Amino acid sequence: MPGIRKSLDSVAGWVVVLSCLGLPSLAAAQAGCGHWNVSNQWAAIQSNDTAVHFSLQQDGTVLKGSAYYGATHKGDMFSGDDYYVIDGSVDGTIKGDDFDVTVYWNNGTTGAYTGKVGPQGRIEGSTYDKQHPQTMAMWHSDGTAECMDNAGVPATTAPAPAASSLGLATAARPAMALGRVVPPAKPPVALGRVAPSANPNAGLSICEVARSARARNSPAAASLERQCAAQPAPPAQPAAPQLDGAWRSDKSARGQVLASQDPLATELRNAIPDGKARNGFDYGMAVAEGDTANGPGKQAIQNALDPDEQFGFGLAVQFSIDRNANAELAAKGAAIAQADPDVAAVRDAANALAQVAAPDAPAFYKLGFDIATGLFGDPALGGVGNAAMDPGSLKIRNSLAPGHEQSGFDDAARFQLARKDRR
């Protein structure tokens, strides 16, 4: 079957495959493929513990379709989690090895996915939320694209029915991503309480709304496109950076110095395999020095790097901007953990995450844990001493990277607030 094909190989050993029965073998390596077919149902496995499931149709270089992912809604600090599904429309292109799509999620956010198709058909790249560019993750496809050079450029291709799909998300074999079960493929219905409905166009520009309408074949598309055309030209994007040997040498040296000054950054760097991924981490530490937000400049640098370098770069940038934005709280929390053995024991339990999730998970968990400990911790030990999860505390929590970092924050908050209740 044409399109994305499932396979078992992993990217630099970062994804632990927990269930591996019945998957097709790797597609044969392609040398300089000019026309890839990426239609079908497949998943983008992200570095933040999220699996985004795509269902794409391809017409030459044009891509359209839909996507969804499972999310968690926390009602309050001590109630159970509610799981629901967020979905959206997709449009974009596949030009040569360059994969570029935008997902218009029904919760009002917009996801940008860029990537490169490798010689064996594996797609690797990065993603960020256009409304919150600091929310960034690396991703790779859970299967391989098919080179169509010998078969001609594909005409319009639609995804196969779910019963015969090559996708992992079937009733007989649930998908796995970094040790967490992803909700079934279809239908995208809420499990438990449904999160409050949101305007799918909230926060979008008129041009983004127009593209979404065109992707849905909405009658309003033509009018919206005229309004988009009347808008002032957007600011020019930064030119592609020239990452020569001098640049790499300078950023590598500076990044290593910065990582050595922070125990958690050192822990994170040591968790990344030596080679291109670690080089990318050093570049990211240097590029994000002192910054508290991501942006187009960093994204342009990341896009210009080798895929393995991109992975390390993305981790370093995410770690740096979250730490820099909360530097005082993180320092307070780390000091409290050093002074209080009970806090240290809860914090260090995160080391087990490296065995069940990903090697970078403990460092991000501890960063979130330290920030919350600084916020809710004992004032006698240097903490701020917040007594509740107020709006300000929740704003800090939600600004952190989804996944392990927010989990660390939540666990520290629960621990500290439970202590206050016992006093």
Q: What are phi and psi of 13, to 5 degrees?
A: 75, 15
Cα dihedral: 264, 266, 270, 274 (round 10): 140
Q: Give CA–CA dist 345/366, Å, rounded.
A: 12
* β-bridge partners, 45: 51, 140
pTM beyond 0.75, yes or no: no
Cβ burial, residue 80 (10 Å; 0-12/13-18/19+): exposed
**C-alpha–C-alpha distance, residues 269 and 291, integer Å:** 19
Where do we find the tokens 């030119």?
Answer: 239
Express each pLDDT in 232-268 by its tens digit: 766 666 666 788 999 999 999 999 999 999 999 999 9
Peptide bond into 119 cis (omega under 30): no
pLDDT tens figures, 162-207: 332 323 232 332 332 222 333 334 333 333 333 444 445 545 677 8
Spell out the domain ranges in the chain. Answer: 5-198, 201-229, 237-325, 328-423
153: pLDDT strictly greater than 80 = no
Structural class in CATH, domain 5-198:
mainly beta
392-411 pLDDT, tens per residue? 999 999 999 888 898 899 99
